[in-house]
Structure formats: structure tokens, C-alpha cells
Amino acid sequence: MKKILSAFALCALAVTAQAADSYGYLAFWQNPADSSDGLRIKTTRENLNQVEAANELAAYCRGQDALAGVQADQATGCQSVMPLQNTCAAVAYPRAHQRMTTENVVVISSPLFKSLHQTALNQCAKKFGTQGQCAIEASFCTSSDYYGGAIRTLWSRIKSL
């Protein structure tokens, strides 16, 4: 019985590995001319391929730079760009610090959306203590299927073949 279950699990994992990949980005934008300006978080939409996700992020960065008056020859305000594939990400920060900076955010990535929030909050509390009053600022998954949990994700990927 154990051999049958192990073989089934291995086959299921092999099937899902061949299913369509989903890509996304998590990026932080801050006005390069005004460091007192707070961070803005950008997450791309779910269910994008690699090119679509890169184009969406590039358009966002160009748009924010244009609104802030950043010239084409200057550095972009998009900082700490995190590429993601077939996973979820959450951003936590200590509210007691009054504003998010690149030094006080905690980013956690995991394909398990349900435990992602708590993991991000725990890591933030470890880093900044309970007096930091950590909170989730953003969370998203590269595929909309991931919000339902591991079993639902597996089932959705099998159905999409």
C-alpha cells in the first residue's frame, strides 16, 4: 500500500511539474530624488507568463518614474525586484516604525499561501520584536490557484493538462 501511495504521489508531482508555469514580480518603488517618500509595493497580476510579468513590471516602473519626474538617464525608483515562479510572497513590516523602508520589510516566499502570512509575521517579530507591531502589507501568488491550498493547487494543475 505504501508503494502504491508513493508511486501515486511521485506521478502527481511529475504531472504538475509539466503544467503551465506562472510568473510574477514583487517590487518596491521609492522616489530616487526624495528618500523621505515611502515605499510603494508592486505585485504583478496572477497567471502571467514570464514575458507578460516582465512587461507589466517594466510599465509600472516607467510610469512611477515618469510621475515622479525621474529622467530616462537617471536610476529607476524600482528597487529590490524579486522575480517569482509558481509561488506566493508576503511582505510584513513593523508599523511602529511609522513607514516602510527597504531596511525594515520582511519578505517571505512559499508555495503554501495559507501559512505564508503567519511565517512573515513571525519573521518580522523575530527581527523587530513584539513592540514593532508587525503587520502584513501585501501578499500575492503568481497563480490564482495557489490561494486555495496545496491540494486544490495540485488538482487545478492536473485539470489544466
DSSP 8-state assignment for residue 48: B
pLDDT band at 122 (very low <50, low <70, confident <90, very high): very high
Burial class (CB in 10 A: 0-12, 13-18, 19+), 48: buried
Q: Is the dihedral of CA 103, 136, 78, 49 positive or negative?
A: positive
Q: Could you give the CA distance from residue 91 to residue 74 in angstroms, rounded to a whole number?
A: 27
pLDDT band at 44 (very low <50, low <70, confident <90, very high): very high
Would the pLDDT of 24 be above 60? yes
Only one residue has cell 508599523, namely 95
Residue 104: the pLDDT is: 92
> H helices within 72-146, ranges in order?
113-128
Would the pLDDT of 14 be above 80? no
Residue 11: the pLDDT is: 42
Q: Could you give the CA distance from residue 79 to residue 157 in angstroms, rounded to a whole number?
A: 32
